Chain A
Amino acid sequence: MSNLEQLFEIEPYSLNKEEKEKMLSEELGRLTEFHYNNCPEYKKILDRLGYDVTKTHTTGELPFIPVRLFKFYDLMSCPKDDIVKTMTSSGTSGQAVSKIYLSAQNTKNQSKTLTEIITSFIGKQRLPLLLLDTEMVKKDRSMFSARGAGIIGFSMFGRDTVYALDSDMNLDFEKVAAFLEKHKDEPILMFGYTYMIWQFVVKELKKRGVNFNIKNGILFHIGGWKKLKDEAVDVFTYNKTINDVMGSVKVYNYYGMAEQLGSVFVQCEHGHMHCSNYSDIITRHPYDFTPCKFGEKGIIQLLSVLPESYPGHSLLTEDEGVVLGEDDCPCGRKGKYFEIKGRIKNAEIRGCSDTYERR
């Protein structure tokens, strides 16, 4: 059984530090060697760094590439014919678009991993699903972005799915009320994008003085906090306001990027973002890329065991964050937990051969 198949057999937050390092260094080392042998551009980078893929390395020693390389190069580690889906994401800077090439097996592993992680929070039962977005995101398939993919990916956990917003992003009160009435005795699952929920649902409910009055709800949301920060809304205000206008709702923020779909990070009841068995985080000092200690702010490097058809298993993001601890969050989940501090200021990381010398 492969490492990944073994991971599918166990609870997603069960490996402690030693067990996880053993599994990750082995699996990510295998992926590094695999991508080195199958992606010519990746090989060039590693050769330039003088990295020896045949040697065993700790997770901290693994090479990492800046996430924006996916905007400028078509990076893949399998024959073009095996690519069944190309994910795109505009990221922060807007102009250039990241292109992530996915094989059928990679797509399936992403779905399975997302399922393992999400169902550990909501249970195996599929719940009535209210999508706090517009159906347009899936109708226009040429616009199939990370946003649309997120919605479709999450739809697997629901049934009797209803979209709360119309094509002009107006809240469809009648439709939502009918949905909530029909499922009033069941737990309700909701999904949407952090800022859009705030802008088009929460504000609208507040303005109209209406309450969803949900008795037992679970909301998963994803997306950036930048615009909310501008409005001075933090995670506690956000969660409280959701409960003020929607009823009794457990709110889970999660974090992930198009370049590593599937192995997402979910914020627990104590406000901590958690790595699962499938992923890990290392924060690095901005000037020499040495690892930060717990509590120190640094640039976030994300590791994922999923990327097989493209070399995305170890990426330097353009986000800053702080690792708060490992294996000892009061929620009981094992693994590192962290806080995101936002985008790097004036993010401009060049190709790593320009700025990074392996020491």
Chain B
Amino acid sequence: MTTLEKYTQVFTDTFGITDEEAKNLKFQDIKAWDSVGHMGLISAIEEAFDIMMETDDIIDLSSFEKGKEILAKYDVEIK
């Protein structure tokens, strides 16, 4: 499994959406990704990649794409 597949799966599992839907997803686009869903997403990402994000990055992770950039800071390359 590539890191991109793994990363996508976190979104599809957390929010119950398809791979296609995950790709362009932004915070608040769907009901499931509200502030409650956000904390669920964060812990799922942290668990999947065995990292711990800083609070600022938790706030900044506002889209599927932005998450990739942020993960790079923790030496996780999504490809």
Contact = CB atoms under 8 A, between A and B. Distances in A.
Contact of B27 (A104, A138, A141): A104
Contacts of B55: 115, 119, 124, 126, 156-157
A84 B58 contact: no
B52 A126 contact: yes
Contact of A85 (B34, B43, B62): B34
Contacts, number: 43
B62 A84 contact: no
Given A108-B59, A108-B62, A159 B36 contact: no
B75 interface: no
A141 B54 contact: no
A122 to B, nearest CB: 10
Contact of A112 (B38, B59, B62): B59
Nearest to A149: B35
23 contacts: A84-B28, A85-B28, A85-B34, A85-B35, A104-B62, A107-B35, A108-B62, A112-B56, A112-B59, A115-B56, A124-B55, A138-B36, A141-B34, A141-B36, A149-B35, A152-B35, A152-B36, A152-B38, A155-B39, A156-B39, A156-B58, A157-B55, A159-B46
Given A108-B59, A141-B34, A152-B36, A159 B52 contact: yes
Nearest to B37: A141
**Chain A binding surface, main DSSP class:** helix
A155 B59 CA distance: 11
Nearest to B58: A156
Interface residues of B, number: 17
B27 A156 contact: no
Interface in B24-59: 27-28, 34-36, 38-39, 43, 46, 52-56, 58-59
A111 interface: yes
A104 B27 CA distance: 9
A131 to B, nearest CB: 11
Nearest to B54: A124
Interface of A: 84-85, 104, 107-108, 111-112, 115, 119, 124, 126, 138, 141, 144, 148-149, 152-153, 155-157, 159, 161
Nearest to A115: B55
B41 to A, nearest CB: 12
B27 A115 contact: no
B59 to A, nearest CB: 5
Nearest to B38: A152
A138 B53 CA distance: 22
Contacts of A144: 36
A69 B46 CA distance: 42
Contacts of B38: 152
Contacts of A156: 39, 55, 58-59
B54 to A, nearest CB: 6
A85 B35 CA distance: 9
Nearest to B40: A138
Contacts of B58: 156
A104 B54 contact: no
| 3 A-B pairs with the lowest CB-CB distances in the bound complex, closest first | A84-B28, A111-B59, A155-B39
A115 B27 CA distance: 19
A124 B52 CA distance: 12
Given A115-B59, A124-B55, A152-B36, 8 more contacts: A84-B28, A104-B27, A104-B62, A115-B55, A115-B56, A126-B52, A152-B39, A156-B55
